[in-house]
Homo-oligomer: A and B are copies of this chain.
Amino acid sequence: SRRRFKATFEAVRDQFGGQEGMFRRLFGGGSADLFLVPMENGEIDWLESGVEIRAKPPGKEPRVISQLSGGEKTMTAVALLMAIFRSKPSPFCILDEVDAALDEANVERFTKALGPFLDRSHFIVITHHKRTMQACHELHGVTMAERGVSRRVTVRVDQVGADGRIREDALE
């Protein structure tokens, strides 16, 4: 219904672009916003209008979000996802290599941003980044010791080699 969408939109907008919102938290500043795209007649229609995103990393003036870099796009998308999550938390969240385009400094900010959500949800994170592994409380290793057949082993961060391979000692 219209009323519910409006309430969710306003909540997500604030959680995303507000002063204390996820964008400023992930970028350490800057500004972001969500707005509804007017219809052909120039009016905003709460039931039909699409949603546009504006994102300005600190000190930059991109006109459109397509000008953002690969890493900036990832961080903006994660900020928006977290904003939605804050207004409607789900019991768990699965993230499959969302940190692939991030440099180490942004990996650090990303893992720190998960903190405030842990009272209501838990995260399952697939990654190749050592820093993200270090932020996990538990690690499951998946190996194909037998070619073509996946097996799960329990690992500690120090048993995952720099190359993501699981060291022999973890493969009971």
Which residues of A are in contact with B by a Cβ distance under 8 Å?
58-61, 70, 97, 100-105, 107-108, 128, 144, 147-148, 161-165
- B-side contacts of A107, CB under 8 Å: 163
Smallest beta-carbon distance A38→chain B, Å: 30
- B-side contacts of A70, CB under 8 Å: 97
Interface pairs A-B: 7 shortest CB-CB: A59-B147, A104-B163, A103-B164, A105-B163, A59-B148, A100-B100, A60-B148
- B-side contacts of A60, CB under 8 Å: 147-148
- Which residue of chain B is the closest to A103 with respect to CB atoms? B164
- Docked-complex contact A105 and B61, CB < 8 angstroms: no
Of B59, B100, B104, B163, which one neighbours A101 at CB under 8 angstroms?
A: B100
- Docked-complex contact A147 and B101, CB < 8 angstroms: no
Task: Report how far A147 CA is from B97 CA in the complex, Å.
Answer: 29
Task: Report how far A50 CA is from B107 CA in the complex, Å.
Answer: 41
- Docked-complex contact B148 and A61, CB < 8 angstroms: yes
- B-side contacts of A101, CB under 8 Å: 97, 100
- Docked-complex contact A161 and B104, CB < 8 angstroms: yes
Q: A104-B162, A105-B165 are in contact. List 19 more A-B contacts (CB 8 A).
A: A58-B147, A59-B144, A59-B147, A59-B148, A60-B147, A61-B148, A97-B101, A100-B100, A100-B101, A103-B128, A103-B163, A103-B164, A104-B128, A104-B163, A104-B165, A105-B163, A105-B164, A107-B163, A108-B163
- Docked-complex contact A164 and B104, CB < 8 angstroms: yes
- B-side contacts of A148, CB under 8 Å: 59-61
- B-side contacts of A108, CB under 8 Å: 163
- Which residue of chain B is the closest to A165 with respect to CB atoms? B105
